Structures are given as C-alpha cells and as structure tokens.
Amino acid sequence: MADDIVKTVVLEAPVSRVWRALTDHNEFGQWFRVKLDQPFRPGGLSTGRMTFPGYEHYPWRATVERMEAERLFSFRWCDFDEKSDLPIAKQPTTHVEFALEPVEGGRTRLTVTESGFDSLPESRRIDVMRDNAEGWNIQTGNIAAHVASSG
C-alpha cells in the first residue's frame, strides 16, 4: 500500500496569490476552516481548533517545517485520535507539503502531498488515509474557490 496522498490542481490565480492563501494563517483558516492562534513560521508550532462542520471539537496542532517563498510550504501535523490516551502533543504526525509552480495564463499548479502514514497505528492507518484523501479533495476545492474569488 502506498504511504502517501498526492493531489494536484491548477488554480486560477498567480503563485503570489496562492502563496498568501497558504501561508497567511488567517487566510489559511478561512479556506481550510480552522481558527489558528498565531502566524506560521518555520520551526514554529501552530495551534488552533477546526471550524469545519462536524469537526469543531478537533484541535489543530502542526509544526511548520519549510516556507520557501512562492515555492514550498510544509508542516507536520497531528492526526488527532480522540480515543487515544496520549495527549495531542504525543500523538503521531504526518507530513504535508504544498508545492507551487507557475503555469501558463497566470495560473498556479498546486501539488499537495501528505506522507508518513506508516507512523500511525496500523489499526487506524487505512481509515485515516481514506479520510484524508477525501479531505484533500475538499480542501483543494476550497482553496481553488478562495483564490478565484478574492484578490
């Protein structure tokens, strides 16, 4: 079984616009549906709470790894398991990477890759991968609509 999810979309916005939607924590929160407590910064901890309907009780916890202007944004985030006895800070993480590439017509190719599912308990791995694959379908649609409708 593959250990990663890869989703590529072409967005109707220039790289600079997509970069801002990804890396400004308030703007990220608008389309991703999460209320973040502080700005993103490399090496920094990002905390908050999901606002996506049905997931409002889920905490957000990620460590930003890379922010290469208008090219790459990545973080490790916690797969929150509400049934786990472990505090969220001790729960397993996966790696999320957003890679941006300019394409013809002032558009942007965004490739989202989530990997590291082998760090999750085997009993949850398949379900989390399935749920996150569907989640990235939703989220890439959300960012596409967001950058197309706002300047």
Where are the chain's structural domains? Answer: 4-149
What pLDDT score was predicted for residue 80?
A: 60
What pLDDT score was predicted for residue 62?
A: 92
DSSP state of 123: H
What pLDDT score was predicted for residue 121?
A: 86
What pLDDT score was predicted for residue 85?
A: 60
- Name the CATH superfamily for 4-149: START domain (3.30.530.20)
Exposure string over 113-150, b if 16+ CB within 10 A, otherwise e: bbebbeebeeebbeebbeebeebbeebbebbbebbeee
**Which of the pair, 51 or 121, is modelled with greater confidence?**
51
Locate tokens 């590529």: which residue? Answer: 8
Mean pLDDT to the nearest integer, 9-18: 98
For 87-138, the pLDDT digits (tens) are 566 778 899 999 999 999 999 999 999 999 998 888 888 999 999 999 999 9
Locate tokens 């916690």: which residue? Answer: 78
What is the SS3 assignment for 92?
A: coil
Residue ranges of E strands in 12-136: 34-36, 45-50, 59-68, 72-78, 93-103, 107-115
What pLDDT score was predicted for residue 151?
A: 62
C-alpha to C-alpha distance for 146 and 32, rounded to whole angstroms: 10
Mean pLDDT to the nearest integer, 76-94: 70
Q: How far is CA 118 from CA 2, 4, 16, 111, 123, in A?
A: 10, 9, 34, 21, 11
